[in-house]
Amino acid sequence: MTSVNDDAFRAGLDNFRTLQADQQPVWPDAGKLAAAVDTLGGVAPLVIPQETETLTQRLAAAGRGKAFLLQGGDCAETFAEANADRIRNKIRTILQMAVVLTHGASMPIVKMGRMAGQYAKPRSSNEETRDGVTLPVYRGDMVNQFEFSEASRIPDPQRLVQGYNIAAATANIVRAYTQGGYADLRQVHEWNRGFMENPAYKRYESTAAEIDRAIRFMDACGADFDQLRTVEFFVSHEALLLDYERAMVRMNPISGLPYDSSGHFLWIGERTRKIDGAHVDFLSRVSNPIGVKLGPTTTPDDALRLQEKLNPQGIEGRLTFITRMGAGKIRSALPALAEKVTREGSPVTWVTDPMHGNTITSASGYKTRRFDDVLDEVQGFFEVHEAVGSIPGGLHCELTGDDVTEVLGGSEEIFDDTLALRYETLVDPRLNHQQSLEMAFHVAEMLQKFGESRAS
């Protein structure tokens, strides 16, 4: 009889503690941290192993060009906004986008939120100075508070437990919205018709009309099956806080392998993907499907070494590379990576994050992105994969279901001087509801073209 701890030891789950762990908060009270970790070690998992295995299969299909991933949500979820309205709006937006993409791709869309755990952020500086006062930087609600005061910015380990509880409530309502009838395809289609009533979106009319005809055809045939009424929806976040992620590891009783029960899919950020670092080591030892963000400085050898370390058995769907190069760099930086990985590496699923390489500061001082740059990076992503013969497997976006004004452009154009109207994000700018749908129409077109050129 072996205990969970023996198993954990065998799996080397704590090996990361001997390695460099970047972007970790300095918890001032070790006793409080130990208590929080102890609590988390006994809580119910947020996801079960079978679901993570299903997701691995879905991502494998995306890697083969038989499905397409849509992953979206806030840059940083906040505890205060973990309410039914905000969560429902986000789900609705993702579902609406997914319908448009399904039509463009003629393939299943794998739906995933940056939700129920996206509460910790890597930052470019450890400190923030305002009016001569310097305090620890805000690292996400799971670490400290955004408010600029000394007490608010002290990292508090109790926030790990609070984060778990809020993630559990979020995951619960996500399951309700996606399983309980709200996500019925015909309902989602009605929402898209509402969107199309705005003359600003006239250019998408023909695609919208085709989707409409397809749904009416299905209805006329009397089609009514479970897949129309419910959707499979996964949750994901950046596995940044190793104290939290380690505490959420559970053993899969069937395979005996450890999995991280904090979310279905976990990714390693651009700032913590060092091959010898703690994050890569830790995630190499859990069986969830995982992602790594790859920025423009990634070399083909970096990518290969990550594959060897994170997916030594070459399991399809296990590893996703999320490229975030920037519109100006994707066409020059991605080809060498995609070529080498395709030629020499094991299977990976390629996803584009057209957000993080395109962040700018506007003239008025807001951290923002241009809608056109975002689209251009996705376009470049498709072009490169088509040229290389690799597969564009998904789209990773920062978005919200609300009418915020954080990203410049779109047909209902947001200008620099309108950013201030509803700029609500605490970290990175998000596409608003309408910009997200507009993006889906563009990406659907790219998917359709890609599919046609593959078939010919």
CB nearer to ligand PEP: give 13 or 310. Answer: 310
Single-letter amino acid, residue 93 = T
Asked whether 67 and 109 are in contact (CB, 8 A), the reply is yes
Single-letter amino acid, residue 155 = P
CB nearer to ligand PEP: give 192 or 349. Answer: 349
Q: Nearest approach, Cβ of 184 to ligand PEP (angstroms)?
A: 31
DSSP 292-339: EEE-TT--HHHHHHHHHHH-TT--TTTEEEEE---TTTHHHHHHHHHH
Q: Nearest approach, Cβ of 107 to ligand PEP (angstroms)?
A: 25
Q: Nearest approach, Cβ of 130 to ligand PEP (angstroms)?
A: 22
CB nearer to Mn ion: give 141 or 428. Answer: 428
CB nearer to Mn ion: give 262 or 425. Answer: 425
Binding mask 224-263 vs ligand PEP (x if CB under 6 A, - otherwise)? Answer: --------------x-------------------------
CB nearer to Mn ion: give 78 or 287. Answer: 78
**Residue tagged 């937006």 (tokens):** 93
**Helix orientation angle between 84-105 and 158-179, rounded to the nearest 10 degrees:** 50
What distance, in Å, lies between the first and last C-alpha atoms of the chain?
58
CB nearer to ligand PEP: give 56 or 118. Answer: 118
- Say if strands 367-368 and 360-361 run parallel, antiparallel, or are unpaired: antiparallel
Token pair listed for 148: 């600029």
122 binds, among ligand PEP, Mn ion, none (CB under 5 to 8 A by kind): ligand PEP
Of the CA atoms within 13 Å of residue 82, those in its CB half-sphere come to 26
Per CB under 6 A, the list member of 122, 300, 328, 335 interacting with ligand PEP is 122
153 binds, among ligand PEP, Mn ion, none (CB under 5 to 8 A by kind): none
Counting Cβ atoms within 10 Å, is residue 113 exposed (0-12), middle (13-18) or buried (19+)? Answer: buried
280 binds ligand PEP (CB under 6 A): no
269 binds ligand PEP (CB under 6 A): yes
Q: Nearest approach, Cβ of 326 to ligand PEP (angstroms)?
A: 11
CA atoms of 82 and 84, how far apart (whole Å): 7
Per CB under 6 A, the list member of 111, 293, 318, 430 interacting with ligand PEP is 293
92 binds, among ligand PEP, Mn ion, none (CB under 5 to 8 A by kind): none
Using CB under 6 A as the binding criterion, the count of chain residues that bind ligand PEP stands at 11
Token pair listed for 230: 């419910």
Q: Nearest approach, Cβ of 111 to ligand PEP (angstroms)?
A: 18
**By beta-carbon distance, which residue lies closest to ligand PEP?**
269
> 201-235 burial, b if ≥16 CB within 10 A, otherwise e?
beebeebbeebeeebeebeeeeeeeeebbbbbbbb
86 binds, among Mn ion, ligand PEP, none (CB under 5 to 8 A by kind): none
CB nearer to ligand PEP: give 258 or 326. Answer: 326
Q: Nearest approach, Cβ of 120 to ligand PEP (angstroms)?
A: 10
CB nearer to ligand PEP: give 271 or 370. Answer: 271
Per CB under 6 A, the list member of 59, 75, 105, 241 interacting with ligand PEP is 75
324 binds, among Mn ion, ligand PEP, none (CB under 5 to 8 A by kind): ligand PEP
270 binds ligand PEP (CB under 6 A): yes
* Residues of this chain, 305-364, that bind ligand PEP according to CB under 6 A: 324, 353, 356
CB nearer to Mn ion: give 92 or 271. Answer: 271
DSSP 385-425: HHHHT--EEEEEEEB-SS----SBBTTTTB-GGGGGGG---
Residue 17 is given by DSSP the state: G
Residue 370 is given by DSSP the state: B
Q: Nearest approach, Cβ of 447 to Mn ion (angstroms)?
A: 24
CB nearer to ligand PEP: give 355 or 447. Answer: 355
Residue ranges binding Mn ion (CB under 5 A): 75, 428
- Report phi then psi at 296, rounded to 5: -65, -15
> 374-406 burial, b if ≥16 CB within 10 A, otherwise e?
bbbbbbbbbbbbbebebbbbbbbbbbbbbebbb
Asked whether 320 and 353 are in contact (CB, 8 A), the reply is no
User: Strands, E, within 14-132: which ranges?
Assistant: 68-73, 109-114, 127-130
Which residues bind to ligand PEP, rule: CB under 6 A? 75, 122, 238, 269-271, 293, 324, 353, 356, 428
